[in-house]
Each structure stands twice: as C-alpha cells, then as structure tokens.
Amino acid sequence: MNTRVVKIDPQNIDHEVLREAGALIRNGGLVAFPTETVYGLGANGLDPGAVKRIFQAKGRPSDNPLILHISRAEELDKLVEGISPTAERLIEEFWPGPLTLIFKKSSLVPEVVTAGLDTVAVRMPSHPVAMGMIRYAGVPVAAPSANLSGKPSPTRAEHVIKDLLGKVDMIIDSGSVMVGLESTVADITGGGVVVLRPGGITPEQLREVTGDVTVDPGLIPDGDTTIPKAPGMKYAHYSPDAQVIIIDGDMYKAADKIQRMAKDLESQGKRVGIMATEQTKALYKDAPVVSVGDRKRPYTIAANLFAVLREFDALGVDVILAEGVERQGVGLAVMNRLMKAASHNVVRV
C-alpha cells in the first residue's frame, strides 16, 4: 500500500490536508495522527471492516479492545448507556486530555471495537490536530497507539513511519507529542474509579475530583503477579529489541551497580547502553549514556521514555541498563511502562 506522509504544523493547521484525513477515515481508511499522549492509528469506529484493518496493520491480538476518540462531549451520549455524576465530574475536569473512561457500551458500538466486551473506552484528546481530524471525520475514531504491537508507543512521526509505512493510508507528522505515555484508563462502571492503566492523569489528580479512586492491584509494578483488568495490560509491551534490565533503588547505589554490571556484560562481548537521568548521567564512563529526563520534573521522563528506548535500538545495543525512578505522580506510569519493557527484570539495590 502507498502511504502518504503529510506534515501538519499544530500552531498553523493546514485545514485542507486535515479535511482530507478526516474524509479518509470516514470512508474506511487508516490514518496515523498525533495526540497529546502518543501517535494513534485511527479508523472509523462505527465501521467494523475499517476497525479490523487496524488490528491487521499493527499485528494486534483481536481480544484487545480499542479506545473511541471523540471531539465533543455530546458525541458520548450515543456511544454509552448512561453517564454517572462521577463520570460527568471527571469529564468536566479532564476532557479534553489524557484520560480514557470505560462505560457500558450502547448497541451502536461494533463488537470488534470492544473485543466483545459490554463496555467501551472513550477519550477526547486535546491535541489540536487530533481534535480537528475527528471533527472532519464526523464519526468516533477508533485508535490504538500507532506502533507495531509489542513495540514502544510512537512519540514522533518517525517512529510511526518506521513501524507502519506501507501498511496505512496516511501518516500525519506534527512533530513530538507532549505527554509521551498513553492516557490513563479508568473504569467507572462499578460506581467508584478504578485505574486500569496509569498515565498522564495521576491517581492523586483523580482523587481531587472524587474520593473513591483505587489502582488495579495488577498494575503495581513490584513483581505482583495478579492479572491486570485492562485486556491490553497483560501483553508484553513497549519492548525495544535490546534486553532491558532495571536497577532500582537509591540513585547513587544504582549508578554504582550499573557501572559494575556494564563492565561485566562488556567483558562477555555485549554492547551496553545506560539509561540515566540528569542527576546521574555524569557518574558514568565508557558505555553510551542517554539521560531520559530530570528526576525533579518526572513529566520530562514520561515525555522521553519511549523515544529513548527506540534510540538505544538505533544505537544497536544488546542490553539497556535503566535506572528506576520514584513511583510518585506520573512516575507510577513511567515505572509501569519500564517494567513491561524489562519483562519485570529488576535488580534491587
């Protein structure tokens, strides 16, 4: 398939191109587009044939449901079976933005979108290009992250091009995204709020709106073996080609341990990359060191994580030794993704 790659500047949107993207979606095509979290791969969420093509292009298991993206809160009414007062408060506070809510689905939503579940995930992205495209499409847009299944989610168009060129109709290049990790997924069908996937909106922020917030125990990234409730969270995910090992604990002890592990691995002929932070990067010698961000500003780490994992693959390393970070605020989401990238391979110091 011939993939059209187009640039759209989010500060100065070319509405002609965006209208074409919307028409492509409405007519059954696949368009990769930027959102504030990661790039998404969109199709007409009311067209089962188009939605099936998303699964094919990504190599995604068909039991992993998709999120429907809307551009106005009113569009929610016909997709779901009722909106609770808690849902209304969360929508008021966090939409548009990186919060996906799980509702009981209406009969309008095709089974292929929800993988046969009686619930549906909906979110309203805040990225102006995503918003505009959904408006022009005139339909809810089903979209997973625009990566091959199992690879780190794309935070730049180059990542999408690497994974999906030739498999989709159009890729919109709007540069880097803002958040860098996928949206927070929260189930509100049981009365309270259960966080199924941590993301840009933290449990602390949700608690400011409603007291009754729990985090799915299957997600606490501490080697707990409970099965997560969001179908997608059980899959190996976000894996770069290199093996990832997390060294978790006090940052100075971690740096010391990483130095020694790097020496050992190199003596076995392995190429090693070190994922450090602004606070520790100067402590390392020899192996390629990439700083993932500033520990005092964890949002910078979220924004860079997936790109840095892909960067190590481009450098051709065999093993990535990654410092763990604090599981506070967005750090919970960072460690959730990093633990998955490492297949829970952690050395504690």
Instruction: Name the closest residue to ligand TXA (Cβ).
Output: 232
Give which of 258, 232, 250 is closest to 337, Cα–Cα.
Answer: 232
Judged by beta carbon distances under 5 to 8 A according to partner kind, the member of Mg ion, ligand TXA, none in contact with residue 307 is none
The DSSP call for residue 328 is S
Torsion of CA 296, 325, 333, 346, to 10 degrees: 170
Task: Tell me the number of residues near Mg ion by CB under 5 A.
Answer: 1
Q: Whole-number minimum distance, CB 144 to ligand TXA, in Å?
A: 3
Single residue of 40, 97, 198, 273 touching ligand TXA by CB under 6 A: 40
Single residue of 50, 66, 87, 332 touching ligand TXA by CB under 6 A: 66
The reply on whether position 143 binds ligand TXA by CB under 6 A is yes
Q: Give the helix/strand (H/E) hosting 184.
A: strand 184-187
Cα–Cα distance measured from residue 158 to residue 291, given in angstroms and rounded to the nearest whole number: 20
Q: Which residues pair with 122 in a beta bridge?
A: 68, 101
Closest CB to Mg ion among 145 and 174? 145
* Phi and psi based region of residue 21 (left: phi greater than 0; alpha: psi -120 to 50; beta: remaining): alpha
Single residue of 21, 25, 35, 272 touching ligand TXA by CB under 6 A: 35
Q: Whole-number minimum distance, CB 303 to ligand TXA, in Å?
A: 13
Choose the stretch contacting ligand TXA; rule: CB under 6 A; options: 169-177, 180-188, 204-212, 249-257.
180-188
Single residue of 144, 240, 273, 324 touching ligand TXA by CB under 6 A: 144
Q: Whole-number minimum distance, CB 284 to Mg ion, in Å?
A: 31
Give the x-and-dash track for 225-254 against ligand TXA (CB under 6 A).
-----xxxx---------------------
| 319-323: strand order across its sheet | 289-291, 272-276, 319-323, 243-248, 346-348
Closest CB to Mg ion among 58 and 257? 58
The reply on whether position 142 binds ligand TXA by CB under 6 A is no
N residues, the chain: 349
Token pair 């290009």 is found at: 129
Judged by beta carbon distances under 5 to 8 A according to partner kind, the member of ligand TXA, Mg ion, none in contact with residue 66 is ligand TXA
Cα–Cα distance measured from residue 304 to residue 80, given in angstroms and rounded to the nearest whole number: 35
Choose the stretch contacting Mg ion; rule: CB under 5 A; options: 58-66, 143-151, 164-172, 326-334.
143-151
Give which of 260, 287, 265, 257 is closest to 274, Cα–Cα.
Answer: 287
Single residue of 35, 71, 145, 174 touching Mg ion by CB under 5 A: 145
Cα–Cα distance measured from residue 107 to residue 109, given in angstroms and rounded to the nearest whole number: 5
The reply on whether position 174 binds ligand TXA by CB under 6 A is no
Q: Whole-number minimum distance, CB 182 to ligand TXA, in Å?
A: 3
Sign for the CA dihedral angle at 104, 110, 113, 115 comes to positive
Give which of 108, 78, 76 is closest to 91, Cα–Cα.
Answer: 76
Binding site for ligand TXA (CB under 6 A): 35, 37-38, 40, 64-67, 98, 100, 102, 114, 117, 119-121, 123, 125, 143-145, 182-183, 185, 196-197, 230-233
Binding site for Mg ion (CB under 5 A): 145
